[in-house]
Amino acid sequence: MEEMPLFENRRDAGQKLPQRLLKFAHQPQVIVLGLPRGGVPVAFEVAKALHAPLDIFLVRKLGVPGHEELAMGAIASGGVRVLNQSLIRSLEIPPQVIAVITQQEQQELERREQAYRDNRPKPDLMQRTVLLVDDGLATGASMRAAVVALREQHPARIVVAVPTAAPEACAEFAKIVDEMICAETPDPFWGVGMWYYNFSPTSDEEVSALLEEAQDVRMVSR
């Protein structure tokens, strides 16, 4: 029997996810961080429902040459790089190739940081409860880099929240963060896009517009 998608689109997923996050509503120390680009529409709806501020946390996947969808690692804001050493060894990827791809992705990360933030300062995450949101988790390479990078900023708690995830990814992250929220864990998982009717790419313009709207409506509880 063919599996049916769980969500209309990312905004729909973001409206359903807060049902699992109600204990974080109206909490002044809570901040929602979306992983651009696809995680931001989800995070926007979560932040709105919880009356929490919204920001971004940038991560770039390091794709295997010729198979870019396969992640050999990821980089995140703050100069953090996480590598899948077992995959790199099995595919015999030379260090110089990893270095070139890292540099390319670092340039793109910095471009997006400037484009999305529009001179707004980065939030201070010290001793805050950070809800890290993406549109789903398959291998989790990008999210793992984000968690490592976030720890450098000494938040009080890191909570990863996604609408859908592979069961094994959800179980793995439960060991490395303070709380893991996976709304749906289909098995077999196949891929994040399988569970959305509309999984079209999120544009830079949409990310910027959502961040601006979040500022305008002042999601923060007063």
In this structure, is residue 98 part of a structural domain? no
189-215 pLDDT, tens per residue? 988 999 999 999 999 999 999 999 998
In this structure, is residue 28 part of a structural domain? yes
Parent domain of 135: 10-59+124-215
Q: What is the pLDDT of residue 7?
A: 95
Report the number of distinct structural domains present in the chain.
Answer: 1
Please identify every stretch of the chain with a pLDDT value under 50, giving residue numbers as ranges.
1, 220-222
In this structure, is residue 113 part of a structural domain? no
Q: What is the pLDDT of residue 220?
A: 47
Give the CATH number of the domain where residue 196 resides.
Answer: 3.40.50.2020
- 67-76/80-83 β-pairing: antiparallel
Distance CA 28, CA 47 (A): 12
Residue 50 neighbours by CB under 8 Å, 6+ apart: 18, 21, 22, 24, 25, 26, 27, 30, 32, 131
In this structure, is residue 2 part of a structural domain? no
In this structure, is residue 27 part of a structural domain? yes
Q: What is the pLDDT of residue 218?
A: 52
Residue 4 neighbours by CB under 8 Å, 6+ apart: none
pTM > 0.75: yes
Q: What is the pLDDT of residue 222?
A: 39
Distance CA 210, CA 78 (A): 23
Q: What is the pLDDT of residue 217?
A: 59
In this structure, is residue 88 part of a structural domain? no
Q: What is the pLDDT of residue 21?
A: 95
In this structure, is residue 87 part of a structural domain? no
Q: Which of 202, 205, 213, 87 is nearest to 133 (CA)?
A: 202
In this structure, is residue 45 part of a structural domain? yes
Q: Which of 142, 131, 148 is nearest to 78 (CA)?
A: 148
CB 72 within 8 A of CB 99: no
Q: What is the pLDDT of residue 118?
A: 77
